[in-house]
Chains A and B, each alone.
Chain A
Amino acid sequence: MSARTISLNSLFASAAGAAPATVLLAMVLGIGVFQPSFLSPYSLSVLMRESSPILLLALAQTGVIMLGGIDLSVAAIASLCTILLALLLPPLGVWGLIAVLFVGTAAGMAQGYIHVAAQIPSFVVTLAGMGLWSGIALSIAHTTIPVDQGYAVVGWMEASLLGVPVSFIFGAGVALLLWLAMRETPFGRYVQAIGLGERAALLSGVSVGTVKVATFAVAGLLAGITGVALVARTYSGNPSAGSSLLLPSIAAVVIGGTAITGGVGGYGRTVIGVLIITVLRVGIAIVGIDPGYEPLCYGLVLVCAVALTMDRTRLAVVK
């Protein structure tokens, strides 16, 4: 009986590893047949440009989900950072950029600290954080703040290199760096251990609290970088600039094959997941479905992906 469970599990594991890439390929080819111009270099570069904020935000989310938690505040932190950046870029230039990234990191770190020190579930802390950060963003500015000076500090992100958007190259570079860190460093090993078995990791002497706070801090930093990418894209800051990205970023992580229960998956899978979500988004438009249905699709994708990848054997009760 146990032998059968094990072989089934490994079958699921290998299927979960290859399935997202297969889905992505099938979608690209499918849409390509339906609309051949979809595969043109121009349209692919639009696709990549479109995907980079979701990519950055999904990378922020991946580390936290690998721990077995979730960070609902990343989009709100990104929005807050667009506002702060729009305000600070004109007077401070590059120092404004550094200050904003610092704020993002500190916000993530604070949430991680509260999660660990007060032993509150991460989804509660970050749900409260989501309210707090968007509240602060709204109290600073009710509406769009245009960036009239100092745009050059962030504008490089919107440039293209050999037809590939720099923002996408940047996002892919960050993903590669994080992927290496997760695979090759003790820190990455600790994150996986906590996601797979927090009690055992704790009792093996892993500094679970420190690892968690650091992971949330990285999530905050990446959310801040997402904010920077959004300012580069829109030449402005807006208190709700990132809010529509929360759902697709979480959907991207799980459709890529990272288990919502933690430990299994990683940054490489998130890149695939982000591409699937973006192709889905563009595909919806090409097929002629009203873009208003977009969130509905993300919701369906999220539920189906979690249903397929969640490891129920590790939860006594599904709450």
Chain B
Amino acid sequence: MVLAQVERLRSRASIVFVSHRLDEVLQVCDRIYVMTNGRCVAERNGREASRDELHALMFGQQLAEEYRRDRAARHPGAVRLSVRNLCCGASCQGVSFDVLGGQIVGLAGVEGSGRESVCRTIFGAEEPSAGEILIAGHKVRLGSPADAVALGIGYVPAERRVEGIVSGMSVKENMTLTHLHVVQRGVVLDRSRERRLVGHWINQLRIKAPSSGALAGQLSGGNQQKVALAKWLIAEQPRVLILDHPLRGLDVGAKAEIFRRILELAEKGIGVILIADALEELIALSDTILVMRDGCITDCFNESDPPPQPSMILKHMI
């Protein structure tokens, strides 16, 4: 339909066609520019380019073999979270999956494939239009994130500076915001207990901050991400932790460190749901990868299968 219009107009106008649907791109375009991470990485002639070549250009050739984890060492536990036939408007339709304790479930898909929507719904930030969410086998109704937190679900959002941390509050205040009740004595806050607890986790996660009273907004991206992670860990361990683009915008060193933290969390028995843009990272971290397109799960790679190649995942994403 749109493509027909494009064909009709091309005799009269020049057209810039922006899409991640490679079939369409190959069908209509004379010249193709491939962009990743804000840079133009390649220019190809539309008639000569192939689908596989574009895939490879978009997501980088090198597989993150160094990230490959030792899968045999871990034993997934009981079912922590089940999603059954979850629908939320048009953005996700009939999504079902389980998350086990100690398992990392990766959600692959392009922006708008519904994976963010699934995560926000599980965290109570969006209202599901149909379907069920079960935590440890019990059906739950999540009216707000506060409900989800009370049930042991944590969420590290992609928009770190606006949603992950309160930039204008101190590192300490950010870290205890979710679980203030653990540093409460009577009706007031127990500041020395708060300082001790926060100090422990600053050491544990090696957060680099001038002091625990420094504003969280002044830390580097990696340290902000650690603060956003820490607030889910300082009290009782969450059952399920949702990580939305935890490595986005971090430098290599910070990436490697957060990467190790995520593996540690899973080793402690937390069920992790992970969204990442880089497929190599997703493959390296996840036990199970669910591929989403247009609000539906189009494929699933289990931990018993051999690790998938990015191109195998891409085929179902786009």
Contacts and interface: CB of A to CB of B under 8 A. Distances in A.
Contact of B162 (A193, A199, A209, A263): A199
Contact of B165 (A185, A192, A200, A209): A200
A204 B177 contact: yes
B157 A193 contact: no
Interface stretch (B12-20, B47-55, B143-151): B143-151
Nearest to B160: A200
A314 B162 CA distance: 10
Contact of B166 (A186, A197, A209): A197
Interface residues of B, number: 30
A201 B163 CA distance: 8
A209 B147 CA distance: 12
A144 to B, nearest CB: 42
B310 interface: no
A203 B169 contact: no
Residue of A185, A205, A207, A208 with most chain B CB atoms under a 10 A cut-off: A205
A283 B231 CA distance: 50
Given A196-B168, A202-B125, A204-B231, A186 B162 contact: no
A179 to B, nearest CB: 13
B180 A189 contact: yes
Interface string B116-136: 000000010100000000000
Given A189-B180, A193-B169, A205 B189 contact: no
A203 B125 CA distance: 8
Interface in A106-126: none
Interface string A192-228: 1100110111111111110000000000000000000
A89 interface: no
Contacts of A206: 146, 177-178
Contacts of B189: 184-186, 189
B163 A203 contact: yes
A192 B215 CA distance: 13
Contacts, number: 75
Given A189-B177, A193-B169, A196-B169, A203 B184 contact: no
Contact of A209 (B144, B157, B187): B144
Interface residues of A, number: 25
Given A6-B218, A193-B177, A205-B148, A186 B184 contact: yes
Contacts of A305: none
A264 interface: yes
A196 B166 contact: yes
Nearest to B181: A186
B46 interface: no
A205 B145 contact: yes
Interface string A165-197: 000000000000000000011100110110011
Contacts of B173: 189, 192-193
B218 A264 contact: no
B188 interface: yes
A135 B15 CA distance: 60
A205 B149 contact: yes
A182 to B, nearest CB: 11
Given A6-B218, A193-B169, A200 B187 contact: no
A204 to B, nearest CB: 5
A8 to B, nearest CB: 13
Contacts of A197: 162, 165-169
A206 B149 CA distance: 9
Contacts of B184: 186
A219 to B, nearest CB: 20
A311 B168 CA distance: 11
A192 B178 CA distance: 14
Nearest to A205: B149
5 contacts: A197-B169, A201-B166, A204-B145, A204-B231, A207-B146
Interface of B: 123, 125, 144-146, 148-150, 155, 157, 159, 162-169, 173, 177-178, 180-181, 184, 187-189, 218, 231
Interface of A: 6, 184-186, 189-190, 192-193, 196-197, 199-209, 263-264, 311, 314
Return the 3 tightest CB-CB contacts between A and B, nearest first.
A205-B149, A197-B166, A196-B168
